[in-house]
Amino acid sequence: MNAVKILIADDHDIVRKGLRVLIEEHPGWVVCAEARSGREAVEKTVQLTPDVLVIDVSMPDLNGLDATRQVRKLCPRTEVLVITHHDSDEIAGAVLDAGARGYVLKSDSDRDLVQAVEALSRHKPFFTARVTEIFLANRGSREADPAKSLHNRLTTREREILQLLAEGKSAKEVASLLGIATKTCDTHRTNIMRKLNVHSIAELVRYAIRNKVVEP
Amino acid sequence: MIHRIYNDPALRSNRVYTVMNSATPARIMLSDDHSFVRRGLRNLLESTDQYEICGEASDGNQTLELARALRPDIVILDISMPSPNGLEVARQLHESLPEIKVLVLTMHDSAEMLRAAVAAGASGYLLKSDDEKLLINALQCLRTGRHFVSPSFDAGLARQLFQ
């Protein structure tokens, strides 16, 4: 049997190290690479096509959820396991919406993580009992949330730009980071502000923080 | 305290320095509700011969209990932890066991939190996003009776806090 290739994405050195040790203790599993941002995670996933991507939610440049969306689109064979310290119903729903098929809290046990990677490597979903309860309790009510549906109206590129702007980058910096023209970036920004019904960068930042696109 | 006297050839002089004996590893206790973080810390520290992990705790009460029983040299302490949180743990440790040094290791990149941690009696403040090498520097500082603040903060602020 071939080894299961796993990519670890977290911006904290210590967390990556802990995950690596845990994964490498398991026979037949190899960590093929590590990433420190969502963007790096997407790049390395495309390049190395791991079986499982283990990814944190709060990361610089591109958050884990938007990175998950891109990975699911670009590498549908790679399963995504989201790990987070956010113990909130809202995040649990967003994780599923992004296309991840596994979700483990950082405070869950090591055994949960191992079981999650095991399930995902066989293309089976994994959620702890507590998370499953949250999903069931929220079924139906999530679509009714106006903020959520508003957020869903943004395209992947627009959400990406929203995060970079909210992190304090200028339109010019965003454009060069994404390899697009400054003018294109300006158009995106105008569209984002129109769709979210905000009228200044300050409001945009506030929106991004409230909806957990970036950390406060 | 045992001291060792030696000649540092790298300095190409005959001046004699005293340094702390590094033969006895410092006893470190880990306190974080995230098992991956504890595992990462354990792995990092056990790869050196300077430190040994004497215990691990995953919430505030457990931390206080273990610290009282084990009397570690240093506690590496998370802030966002269940019952009671890290700041309260630091405060209680500082009151009842002031000889135990506290190194806060947190994701909170905020000057307010830094102030609160120092006020609670922490001797060091490091961010989880900092390079892992800094952890060793921080522990070394605390071990030798100095303070340590993550370089992500203004150095002036750090100095002012420990005055």
The three state secondary structure string of chain B is CCEEEEECHHHCCCCEEEEECCCCCEEEEEECCCHHHHHHHHHHHHCCCCEEEEEEECCHHHHHHHHHHHCCCEEEECCCCCCCCHHHHHHHHHHHCCCCEEEEEECCCCHHHHHHHHHCCCCEEEECCCCCHHHHHHHHHHHCCCCEECCCCCHHHHHHHCC
Residues forming a β-bridge with A127:
A103
Q: What's the pLDDT score for residue A49?
A: 96
3-state secondary structure of A9: strand
Instruction: Flag if B128 and A12 touch (Cβ within 8 Å).
Output: yes
DSSP state of A108: S
- What's the gap in Å between the CA of B32 and the closest CA on chain A? 9
Establish if A87 touches chain B: CB-CB under 8 angstroms.
Answer: no
Q: Which residues of A touch B40 (CB under 8 A)?
A: 13-19, 21
Q: Is A123 buried (19+), middle (13-18) or exposed (0-12) by CB count in 10 A? A: exposed
Q: What's the pLDDT score for residue B17?
A: 40
Q: Which residues of B touch A108 (CB under 8 A)?
A: 35
Percent of chain B exceeding pLDDT 70 equals 86
State the helix-helix crossing angle for A129-138 and A89-97, rounded to 10 degrees.
Answer: 90
Q: Are B109 and B64 in contact (CB under 8 A)?
A: no
Q: How confident is the model at residue B4 (pLDDT cuts 50, 70, 90)?
A: very low
Q: What's the pLDDT score for residue B12?
A: 39
Q: What's the pLDDT score for residue A205?
A: 87
Q: What's the pLDDT score for residue A139?
A: 67
Q: What's the pLDDT score for residue A136?
A: 76
Report the residue of B33, B35, B36, B41 to disrupt the A interface, i.e. the one with the largest count of A CBs within 10 Å.
B36
ipTM of predicted assembly, 2 dp: 0.73
Instruction: Flag if B37 and A22 touch (Cβ within 8 Å).
Output: no
Higher pLDDT among residues B81 and A144, named by residue: B81
Nearest-CA residue of chain A relative to B127?
A: A12
3-state secondary structure of A17: helix
Q: Strand B16-20 relative to strand B3-7: parallel, antiparallel, unpaired?
A: antiparallel
Nearest-CA residue of chain B relative to A86?
A: B80
Cα(A140)–Cα(A184) distance, rounded to whole angstroms? Answer: 37
Domains and CATH numbers, chain B: 2-161 (3.40.50.2300)
Q: What's the pLDDT score for residue A151?
A: 65
Q: Is A31 left (phi over 0), alpha (psi -120 to 50) or beta?
A: beta
Cα(B13)–Cα(A210) distance, rounded to whole angstroms? Answer: 60
Mean pLDDT of B98-116: 94
Q: Quick one: which of B135, B37, B22, B142 has its CA closest to A110?
A: B37
Mean pLDDT of B144-162: 91
- What's the gap in Å between the CA of A143 and the closest CA on chain B? 31
Q: What are the 10-residue block averages of pLDDT along chain A, 216 residues in total?
A: 91 92 94 96 96 93 92 95 80 85 86 94 89 72 55 81 89 90 90 86 85 77
Residue B34 has pLDDT above 70, yes or no: yes
Q: What's the pLDDT score for residue B163?
A: 79
First to last CA, chain B: 26
- What the block records as the tokens of B49 is 């011969």
- What's the gap in Å between the CA of B128 and the closest CA on chain A? 6
DSSP state of A3: P
Higher pLDDT among residues B14 and B127, named by residue: B127
- What the block records as the tokens of A167 is 């992190």
DSSP of A28-91, one letter per residue? TEEEEEEESSHHHHHHHHHHH--SEEEEESS-SSS-HHHHHHHHHHH-TTSEEEEEES---HHH
Establish if B107 touches chain A: CB-CB under 8 angstroms.
Answer: yes
Q: What's the pLDDT score for residue B5?
A: 35
Q: What is the pTM of this model?
A: 0.74
Handedness of CA A54, A57, A62, A67 (dihedral sign): positive
- What's the gap in Å between the CA of A17 and the closest CA on chain B? 5
3-state secondary structure of A1: coil
Q: Quick one: which of A38, A18, A9 has its CA closest to A156?
A: A38
3-state secondary structure of A93: helix
State the helix-helix crossing angle for A156-166 and A64-74, rounded to 10 degrees.
Answer: 150
Percent of chain B exceeding pLDDT 90 equals 69
Q: Which residues of B touch A16 (CB under 8 A)?
A: 40
